[in-house]
Structures are given as C-alpha cells and as structure tokens.
Structure 1
C-alpha cells in the first residue's frame, strides 16, 4: 500500500485542496472567500497555503483590483495529480486496511 501524502493529509490542507479541486484547471478562489469557507484565521490559512505552495500543489497570485490587493489561490496540475493519488491511496487503505 502506498502512503498518504503528509502535505495533503493534514486536516486543514485536505479541506483546502478539496475545495480548490472543485474548480477547473486555471480557476482560482480569493483568499477571503477561502477563509470564509474554511472558518479559519487568516494567519492559520496563510501558514497552510505556504506549505501547499512550497510543495508545488497550489499557485498564489496577487493582483490589484482597483486600489485593493487581492490574493487568489488555485490548484496546480501537480496538486490535482497529488490529490487524485491521495484519494486513490485513501480508498485503498479503507477497502483493504492490511
């Protein structure tokens, strides 16, 4: 049996990746919207996003909208692949725990 990806397996990061996976390739979600969906502090979310970004699983894009900076987060292709593998390994573990 293959191991579960420790980067994704942390509950908060699993929730982040699960939400981002519902969007199509190239799509993204604003930091405040993601924070609201998760119900976490901005500092906590930023810490988990940094870990996912360092692993190449998400991309963070900062833009100006009017005069306000906005941060958008999207799943990379590597992130989508890692999440597919994670789900496959989790299903395997649940179906055949030995």
Structure 2
C-alpha cells in the first residue's frame, strides 16, 4: 500500500476559505495594502472584501487601520505576526500534502 499524504484536517478554517486565502496570500507579499487595491487584486467587491477582512481580523490574523489621507478616508490591511506565522505553517502543511501525492494515478 502506498504511503498516504499528511492530513489537511487540522488546517485553520478561517484561513482555508478561498477568498480569505487569496487575501492573506496577497498581504503575505506586502507590508500593508489599501483595501481598494486589495479588492482589485483578489477579485472581490469592496463589500465582500470587508466581510472577509472582518473574519480574519476577528481571528487575529489581520490588522485593519482606518485613517485619513488629507480629507479622504483610507482603509488598509496588514497581516499580524500571528497571521504571518499561521500562513507560514499553512503553506508548509499544504506543500507537504501536495509533495506526497503522486504526479498521476
């Protein structure tokens, strides 16, 4: 019997949802991102992005900051240190899972 890949059952569900994974992946590469830019990058409406960012913020993975640039409101998002750590673990788990699968059956 071939060796089975590691289980993905323990993956963080707040992060594993596709839209949230896209958001966190984008933020992984940036120090912070303006929410309008982030919505464009991940293909979500600003309202949908706001919903997912709130869930990530509740989980302690993302920090949301609202400030003014002149008289214009600007909202930015950034990964927390916990978010970076969790995403690093998530990537390693997913890479190990995929590496253990045969190329074709």
Structure 1 unaligned blocks of 5 or more: none
How does 1:42-57 map onto structure 2 within 5 Å? Answer: 42-57=46-61
Structure 2 unaligned blocks of 5 or more: 1-5
- Between the two proteins, the alignment pairs up a number of residues equal to 94
Q: Distance in 1 between matches of 2:28 and 2:99?
A: 23
How does 1:79-94 map onto structure 2 within 5 Å? Answer: 79-94=83-98
Deviation at 1:49, TM superposition (A): 0.2
TM-score (norm 1): 0.89
The yes-or-no answer on 1:5 pairing with 2:12 is: yes
Q: Distance in 2 between matches of 1:74 and 1:12?
A: 16
Deviation at 1:63, TM superposition (A): 0.5
Q: Distance in 1 between matches of 2:83 and 2:43?
A: 22
TM-score (norm 2): 0.83
Deviation at 1:51, TM superposition (A): 0.6
Deviations 1:46-91 (A, max 9, x none): 1100010001111000001111110010011000000001011112
Deviation at 1:96, TM superposition (A): 3.1
Q: CA RMSD in A?
A: 1.3
The yes-or-no answer on 1:73 pairing with 2:77 is: yes
Deviations 1:7-37 (A, max 9, x none): 11100000000000002xxx21101010111
